[in-house]
Structures are given as C-alpha cells and as structure tokens.
Amino acid sequence: MIAGVSRDGLIDRLAIGLSGLCFVHCIASAVAIAVLASAGTFLLDPIFHEVGMSIAFVLGVLGLGRGILKHGFMLPASVGGLGLGVMAGSLYIGHENGGTLYSILGVLIVALGHDLNRRAVL
C-alpha cells in the first residue's frame, strides 16, 4: 500500500492540499478577526494550530523523506523542512506579533518543497 501511495505522489499532493488549506485558514482568520471578533476566538485557539502543525509535520516527514529515498535529492526536503521550521516559529511568535505572515510564508515554502519533491519523483 505504501509503495502505491508513494508511486503516484499522493502524500505530496495531500501535503500541498493541506498547505493550501492552511493558507486559506490564515487569510480567513485575519479577515474573520477584522470582521467578527467572536469567530476569531475559535480560529485562533492554540489547539487548532498545534494539531495542524502536527499533521503538516507528519506529512512532511512521510512525503519528503520518501522522496529522499526514492530520488535521492535533498533540495525538496530541505526546502520543506525550512517551511516547517518557519511554521513552527510562527506558533511561538503568535498572531499579535506578525505570526500570521510567518505562517503564510512557511506554508508557501512547504508547498514549494512538496511540489519540488513531486516533480523529482515523476
């Protein structure tokens, strides 16, 4: 089963999709906070971000690690790892100090890493 998943790049596509959802979440959170202060409470709950970061980390390790084993290129994993680090750092910074911008930047970097990985496998 894992061989089939790695062959068609499913993990990388899932990770890119998760990055897209995270990007939309960050933008939606900023808009929701500006428009509806009550909606911001749920969207800014730390557990929401911690669970999302955990899922991103697992998909990153599986997808990018598989890529290293399959094609031997370190660049996609390095780029994705940098993005995960920026995302993790944004959790520490918090939304009040520009963490949303760092989170968006990290998500885009992770998506780039997974796209590089997907292209290298094909």
Domain residue ranges in the chain = 2-121
- Residue-wise pLDDT tens digits, 80-120: 999 999 999 988 887 777 788 898 899 899 999 999 998 88
Looking at residue 77, its pLDDT comes to 93
- Residue-wise pLDDT tens digits, 61-73: 988 998 899 888 9
φ, ψ for residue 68, nearest 5 deg: -60, -45
Looking at residue 14, its pLDDT comes to 87
Kindly indicate the confidence band of residue 29, based on its pLDDT and cuts at 50, 70 and 90: confident
Residue type (1 letter), 90: S
Nearest Cα residue to 16 out of 64, 48, 54: 64
Looking at residue 27, its pLDDT comes to 81
Q: Is 2 a residue whose pLDDT tops 60?
A: no
Q: Is 43 a residue whose pLDDT tops 90?
A: no
Length of the chain: 122
Q: Is 37 a residue whose pLDDT tops 80?
A: no
DSSP string, 52-100: HHHHHHHHHHHHHHHHHHHH--SHHHHHHHHHHHHHHHHHHH-GGGTHH
